[in-house]
Amino acid sequence: MGEVALNGLSKRYPGGSDLAVKEVTLTVADGEFMVLLGPSGCGKSSVLRMIAGLEPITAGTVSIDGKVINKVPAKDRDIAMVFQSYALYPHMDVFNNLAFGLRRRSVPRGEIERRVNATAAKLGLAPFLKRKPHALSGGQRQRVALGRAIVREPKVFLFDEPLSNLDAALRVTTRNELIRQQYDIGITTIYVTHDQVEAMTMSHRICIMDKGEVV
């Protein structure tokens, strides 16, 4: 289960006079692939970061499966996020990047190895498990970032423009890969992009945002 509900979600940054996000209300059904589409600066990443618990919420609520999680710290929300910059830990090899989140959750060592190897095999990362991120191509890094989210089997996936650093050809391949993975796993996904083609080809439903509001 992983139904995400936003109710009157608003965000004002310190020192800012206007609301960056204005009373966003929407529900993402369990297993649904929802895309937040809008121009740069429209507040879509702020919405994503508030769902993740990385930004304090000014007003409104975020709920998962009917439970309000405004006060729940990011580390306890059971949400995985793929960042635009991939945010791979540069001092760890691919195996440890994938296993990092599992270790914190006290998953037994054997189970960690099984899940990391299965995820690596699924994403074609098995030959690169001992490599550090700097020794990987852009596409491989992107897959490690995706693998790090998948391996945890969270309630919700959040994607913050994860394809924007890839070249056009790789973007198409990775997009298809993402769609396939989400279909296979069936975990609720909220995907932020300003690319209309991406939004149309990937999502079950699109939410368009402009100037902090859902339009």
Partner 1 sequence: MIGPGYQWLAHLRRSPLLLFVLLYTALSGGPFLWVAVMSLRTTPEIFASPYALPSHLHWEKFADAWTRSNYSTYFWNSTIVVVTAVVLLTVIGAMVAHCLARYHFRGNRVARFVILSGLILPPQLLILSLFQILLEFSLYNTLTGLILVYVAGHLAMTVYILEGFFAQIPQDLFDAARLDGYSDLEIFWRITLPIGAPALFTTVTLNFIILWNEFLYAVVLLTEDDKRTLPLGIMHFMGSHQLDIGMLATGLMIAIAPIILLYGFFSETMIKGMTAGAVR
87 is a site residue for partner 1 (CB under 8 A): yes
Residue whose pair of structure tokens reads 């206007």 in the numeric block: 18
Q: How many CA atoms lie within 13 A of 90 on its CB side?
A: 2
Among residues 8, 39, 68, 89, which is the contact residue for partner 1, using CB under 8 A? 89
Residue among 69, 5, 26 nearest 209 (CA): 26
Interaction between residue 90 and partner 1 (CB under 8 A)? yes
6, 62, 81, 214: residue in contact with partner 1 (rule CB under 8 A) = 81
Question: Applying CB under 8 A, does 77 fall inside the site for partner 1?
Answer: yes
Q: How far is the CB of 74 from partner 1 (least distance, A)?
A: 4
**16 near partner 1, rule: CB under 8 A:** no
Torsion angle (degrees, nearest 10) of CA 180, 93, 126, 168: 40
Applying CB under 8 A, does 85 fall inside the site for partner 1? yes
Q: Round to whole Å and give the CA distance between 181 and 187.
A: 9
> Does 25 interact with partner 1 (rule: CB under 8 A)?
no
164 is a site residue for partner 1 (CB under 8 A): no
Q: What is the CA radius of gyration of the chain?
A: 17
CB of 160 to partner 1, least distance (A): 9
**Encoded tokens for 105:** 């959750």
* Spatial CA neighbour of 138 closest among 162, 116, 118, 160: 162
Interface ranges with partner 1 (CB under 8 A): 14, 49, 52-54, 73-77, 79-81, 83-85, 87, 89-91, 100-101, 104-105, 148, 152
